[in-house]
Amino acid sequence: MEEEQISMEIVNPHAAGIDVGSRSHWVAVGQKETDIREFGVFNQDLFEMADWLFDKRVKTVAMESTGTYWQNLYAVLISKGFHVILCNGKFTKNIKGKKTDVKDCQWIQKLHSLGLLSSSFLPDGKTEELRTYCRQRANLLHQAASTSRKMQKNLRLLNLRLDVVVKDICGLTGLLIIRAICNGETNPQKLAALRHGNCRKSEEEIAKALQSNGRKDYLFALRQELDTYDHLQKKIQQCDVEIEKMLEEIIASDDNKRQHHIEPKPYKRINKNTPENIDLNLKSYQMFEGTDLLAIEGMSYSTVLSLMSEVGIEGIRKFPSAKHFCSWLRIAPNNKVSGGKVLSSKVPKGSNRLKIALRNAANAIGNLKDSTPLRDFFQRINFRKGRVSAISATARKLAVIIWNMVVKGTPYNNPEGYLFLDQKRKRIQKQIAKFELKPEDLNFATN
C-alpha cells in the first residue's frame, strides 16, 4: 500500500529561515543539508550572508526576535532589499523532539515557505530613535528613585526623620536640607529654616525630626548617594535635550505636523519627572496631526510621551482595528472557545512600556474625585471585580479611544454622565421585573 502524502501550497517559494544566536546565525534556504549554512555575527559576516542569500535567489527571510541579536542582521538585510519577517518565538516552536540550531532554521524556513508566519510590529526609524532616548531616560529615572530610597535609609540611620515631615525628600525642601547636612550642618533650627514655602509642616516640627546621632559612616554613605543622585539628574537633563531635538526633527520634516497649534493646558499637572523645557502639549498635538490626546481625563505628559516613542502615529495606523491594537498591547482577554463553550478568557501574560503607561493612566482615572464617564466606568468594574480588573478594563478602553482618535479622527467627547444614568435605570428595571414589583409597592405616584 502506497503512503499518502498531503501537499500544502507554497506561498513564498524563494524563502529563507534564520535561527538567530549570540555567537552565530544558522541560515536555511531549503530542507536539504546543502541548503544550510552557518555565519558569524560580525558585520563582515552579515554582509557575506546577504550576498549568499542573493546568490540563492532568496527574496524573503524569516527570523526570530531573539533578544537584541537580530537588530543588526535585520538592518543589513533590509538595506540589501530583502523582505524580512520578524517573528515572535512562540510562533516558531518546533514539534516535539531533539532541538538543534539546524532543525530550528529548517523549521522556520518551512513555516515561512507555507505562509504560516506573521510579522511582529516594528516602529519606523525616527520613532525607534525617539524610543531609545525615552527608554534611556526611563532607566535613569528608575536608578534615581533607587538612589532616593538609599538616601532615605541613610537619613533614617542617622536618626534624621526627614521622610516623616516632608512628603518627598528629593523635593525642594528635602534636597536643600540634605545638601546642608552633607556640608556639615548639624543645627536642627538652621536646617529647618531651609524649609520651602510650599511645605505644610512648620519649622518647629521639622526641627524636631532633624536631631542626628552623629554617625560618620552613615553621613559618608549619604554624601555618596547624593553625588550619584546629582549625576543621574544631569544625565536625565541630557536625555531631555536629545528628546527635544528628535521631536523637533520629526515635526519639522512634515508640513502636516508643523501647521498645528494648540493652547496650553494649565490644569494638567507637571511633576518633577516630566521633561523640562519641552511643551509636550504642543508637541503631542503636532505629532498626532491635530489630535488632542491630553483632552482625555487621566492622560498625563508621560503617557503621551510613551505613545509618541513606543508606536507613533504611523505605528498606530498599522493596526487595522482597535481590537488588534488592544491585542498587541496585551490588555484584551484571549478568548479560547471550543464546542461553543468558552474555555478561558484570561488576559495574556506579558507587558510593554506602553501597556504600563496606559495602566498608570487608568489608575489615575480611578483616583479622580470628579465624576466623569471613564471614572464611572472604573468604579462599576471596581465594585464588581476589584481594582486590578478595573485598571485592565479602563486601560483597554483608553486604547480603544486613542485608536479611534488617531486613526478615524474622532474627537474625544466627554458627556455629562447620561450613559451611566441610562445603564443604572436599566438595572433598576431588571430588578423590578425580577421581583415582580408593582408601582404601589415602591410608592410610585400613578396617574
Count the domains in the chain: 3
- Between CA 25 and CA 27 the distance in angstroms is 6
Cα separation, 223 vs 226, in Å, equals 5
**Chosen domain end from 113, 141, 156:** 113
Query: Which alpha helices (DSSP H) does 319-417 contain, by range?
Result: 322-329, 353-366, 373-385, 387-407
What is residue 350's predicted lDDT score, i.e. its pLDDT? 80
Check whether residue 88 and residue 62 sit in a common domain.
yes
Residue that is last in its domain, among 248, 273, 289: 248
Classify residue 121: in a domain, yes or no. no
DSSP H helical segments within 97-215, as ranges?
A: 101-113, 125-157, 162-165, 172-182, 188-192, 203-208
Lowest-pLDDT choice from 14-23, 85-94, 223-232: 85-94
- Give me the torsion for CA of 372, 378, 384, 385, rounded to 10°: 180
- Per the domain annotation, does 29 fall within a domain? yes
Predicted confidence (pLDDT) per residue in 325-364, tens digit: 999 999 988 888 888 888 888 888 888 899 999 999 999 9
Count of Cβ atoms closer than 10 Å to residue 156 Cβ: 14
The reply to whether 427 falls in a domain is no
Rounded to an integer, the average pLDDT of 144-151 is: 96
Q: Which domain holds residue 305?
A: 258-407
The answer to whether residue 118 is domain-embedded is: no
- Residues 130, 82 within the same domain: no
Based on the domain organization, do 282 and 382 belong to the same domain?
yes
Q: In this predicted model, which residue has the larger pLDDT, 319 or 346? A: 319
Q: Is 408 helix (H, G, I), strand (E, B) or coil?
A: coil
pLDDT digits over 148-196, tens only? 999 999 999 999 999 999 989 999 999 999 999 999 999 999 999 999 8
Q: Is residue 447 part of a domain?
A: no
Residue 398 confidence (pLDDT) above 60: yes
Task: Looking at the structure, tell me whether residues 229 and 276 fall in a common domain.
Answer: no
Q: Average pLDDT in the 416-427 region?
A: 56
Mean pLDDT of the chain: 89
**Co-location of 153 and 239 in the same domain:** yes
243 & 263 share domain = no
Same-domain pairing of 184 and 281: no
28 strand-pairing partners: 17, 36
Which of 230, 248, 266 is where one domain is finished? 248
Q: Are residues 293 and 373 in the same domain?
A: yes
Q: Is residue 61 in a domain?
A: yes
Best CA proximity match to 106, nearest among 34, 10, 47: 34
pLDDT at 442: 64
Residue 319 domain-assigned (yes or no): yes
Residues 239 and 158 in one domain: yes
On whether both 80 and 153 belong to a single domain, the answer is no
Of the candidate ranges 60-69, 250-259, 335-344, the one whose mean pLDDT is the lowest: 335-344
- Same-domain check for residues 131 and 205: yes
CATH number at residue 199: 1.10.287
CATH number of the domain that residue 101 is part of: 3.30.420.10
Q: Which amino acid is at 232?
A: L
H helices of 183-300, where? 188-192, 203-208, 216-252, 255-258, 280-287
- Whether residue 187 lies inside any domain: the answer is yes
Q: 429: pLDDT confidence band, cut at 50, 70 and 90?
A: confident
Kindly state whether residues 324 and 267 are assigned to the same domain: yes
Of 319, 337, 317, the C-alpha closest to 328 is: 319
